[in-house]
C-alpha cells in the first residue's frame, strides 16, 4: 500500500471517531428539566405568535402627547416582558410603515390580540398589528434574562 493511502485511511478513521465523540457530547448536553420548563417539543421548539407593528391611521401632532404615548407604550412592553408574555420586541430602523415586531409567548393569535389591546399605541390607533402563528426555538424565552446582562441602560 502506498504511504498516501495509509495517511488517507488514518484521517478518515480519525474523523469518524471525532464525529462519534461529538455526537455523544451533544447528546449528553440535553437538559430535560430546561426543556420541560420551556415547554419545548422534541426539536427544542414551541409555538409563539409574531406580531408586526404597522403605522396606524391616527397621528398626533402634539410633541408632549407623542412622548407620553411612547413612554406608556414602552412601559407596556416592559410589563409584558417581565410577565413572560412577550419574549422579543424591537423597532425597525428604516422609518417605513412597518414599525416593529413583537414575539408573544402564547400559542394562539387570539391570546396575542388580547395582549396587544393593552398597548396604548394600539388603543389610540397610532399602531395596528398583523399577527402570525410562529414556530421557533423554545430558548427564545431566555433572551430577556440575557438582555438584562448586556444592557447598561433601561428603556
In this prediction, residue 59 carries a pLDDT of 86
C-alpha cell at 13: 478513521
Q: Which of these, 108, 54, 109, 114, lies nearest to 80 by C-alpha position?
A: 114
In this prediction, residue 26 carries a pLDDT of 56
Q: What are phi and psi of 30, to 5 degrees?
A: -60, 130
* Rounded Cα distance, 101 and 48, in Å: 13
> Judging by DSSP bridges, how do beta strands 45-55 and 127-137 pair with one another?
antiparallel
Contact between 138 and 46 under an 8 Å Cβ cutoff? The reply is: yes
Domain spans of the chain? Answer: 3-30, 45-150
CATH entry, 45-150, from 3.30.70.1060, 3.30.70.890, 3.10.28.10, 3.40.390.10: 3.30.70.1060
Q: Give the chain's residues under pLDDT 50.
A: 9
Counted residue by residue, the chain has a size of 155
In this prediction, residue 16 carries a pLDDT of 55
Coil, helix or strand at residue 60: coil
- For the chain, how big is the Rg over CA atoms in Å? 23
C-alpha cell at 61: 401632532
* Rounded Cα distance, 145 and 85, in Å: 14
In this prediction, residue 61 carries a pLDDT of 77
Give the C-alpha distances (Å, rounded to integers) separating 39 from 141, 145, 147. Answer: 10, 17, 21
Question: Which are the contacts of 66, defined by CB distance < 8 A and separation ≥ 6?
Answer: 60
Question: Which are the contacts of 121, defined by CB distance < 8 A and separation ≥ 6?
Answer: 53, 56, 69, 70, 72, 73, 127
pTM: 0.78
Amino acid at each position: 500500500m502506498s504511504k498516501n493511502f495509509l495517511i488517507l485511511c488514518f484521517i478518515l478513521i480519525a474523523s469518524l471517531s471525532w464525529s462519534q465523540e461529538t455526537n455523544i457530547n451533544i447528546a449528553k448536553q440535553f437538559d430535560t428539566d430546561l426543556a420541560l420548563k420551556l415547554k419545548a417539543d422534541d426539536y427544542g421548539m414551541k409555538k409563539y405568535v409574531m406580531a408586526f407593528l404597522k403605522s396606524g391611521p391616527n397621528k398626533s401632532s402634539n410633541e408632549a402627547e407623542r412622548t407620553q404615548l411612547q413612554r406608556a407604550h414602552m412601559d407596556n412592553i416592559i410589563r409584558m416582558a417581565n410577565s413572560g408574555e412577550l419574549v422579543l420586541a424591537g423597532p425597525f430602523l428604516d422609518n417605513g410603515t412597518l414599525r416593529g415586531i413583537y414575539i408573544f409567548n402564547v400559542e394562539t393569535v387570539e391570546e396575542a390580540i388580547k395582549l396587544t389591546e393593552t398597548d396604548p399605541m394600539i388603543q389610540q390607533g397610532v399602531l395596528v398589528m398583523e399577527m402570525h402563528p410562529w414556530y421557533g426555538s423554545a430558548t427564545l424565552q431566555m433572551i430577556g434574562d440575557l438582555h438584562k446582562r448586556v444592557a447598561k441602560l433601561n428603556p
